[in-house]
Amino acid sequence: MARTPFIKKQLLAGHGIGGCWVNLFSPLATEILSAAGYDCLLLDLEHGPGSVMDAIAMMQAMGGSDCAPIVRIPENSQVWIKRILDAGVAGIMVPAVNNATEAAAVVSGCRYAPRGTRGMAAGIVRASGYGADVESYLANSGSDLLVICQVETATAVTEVAEIAATDGVDMLFVGPYDLSAGLGYLGQPDHPDVAMAVRRIEEAAKAAGKLLGSIPTPRRSAEDLYRAGYNFVLADSDIGLLRQSGELAALSLRNAARQKQD
Q: How confident is the model at residue 141 (pLDDT cuts 50, 70, 90)?
A: confident
Q: Which of 141, 209, 151 is nearest to 177 (CA)?
A: 151
Q: Which residues contact 1 (CB under 8 A, 6 or more apart)?
A: 59, 88, 126, 127, 128, 129
Name 233's bridge partners: 18, 214
Kindly report, residue by residue over 234-251, the tens digit of the pLDDT: 999 999 999 999 999 999
Q: How confident is the model at residue 142 (pLDDT cuts 50, 70, 90)?
A: confident
Strands 146-151 and 232-237: unpaired
Cα separation, 87 vs 55, in Å, equals: 8
Name 211's bridge partners: 171
Q: 76 φ, ψ to 5°?
A: -80, 85
Average of per-residue pLDDT across 131-139: 93
Name 41's bridge partners: 20, 69
What pLDDT was estimated at residue 38?
97
Active site residue 47: yes
Q: At residue 255, does pLDDT exceed 70?
A: yes
Residue type at position 165? A
Cα separation, 27 vs 142, in Å, equals: 28
Please report, rounded to a whole number, the percentage of residues in the chain having pLDDT higher than 90: 94
Kindly report, residue by residue over 51-86, the tens digit of the pLDDT: 999 999 999 999 989 999 999 999 999 999 999 999
What pLDDT was estimated at residue 5?
52
Kindly report, residue by residue over 193-227, the tens digit of the pLDDT: 999 999 999 999 999 999 999 999 999 999 999 99
Whole-structure pTM value? 0.95
Q: At residue 20, does pLDDT exceed 50?
A: yes
| pLDDT, the chain, mean | 95
DSSP 186-247: TT-TT-HHHHHHHHHHHHHHHHHT-EEEE--BTTB-HHHHHHTT-SEEEEEEHHHHHHHHHH
CB 75 within 8 A of CB 92: no
The domains found in the chain, sorted by start residue, are 4-261 (3.20.20.60)
- Tally of CA atoms within 13 A in the half-sphere of 173 that contains its CB: 26
* Catalytically annotated residue among 15, 47, 199, 243: 47
What pLDDT was estimated at residue 2?
46
What pLDDT was estimated at residue 3?
46
Residue type at position 236? D
What pLDDT was estimated at residue 226?
98
Question: In 116-152, which positions are buried (b, 16+ CB within 10 angstroms) versus exposed (e)?
Answer: bbbbeebeebbbbeeeeebeebeeebbebbbbbbbbb
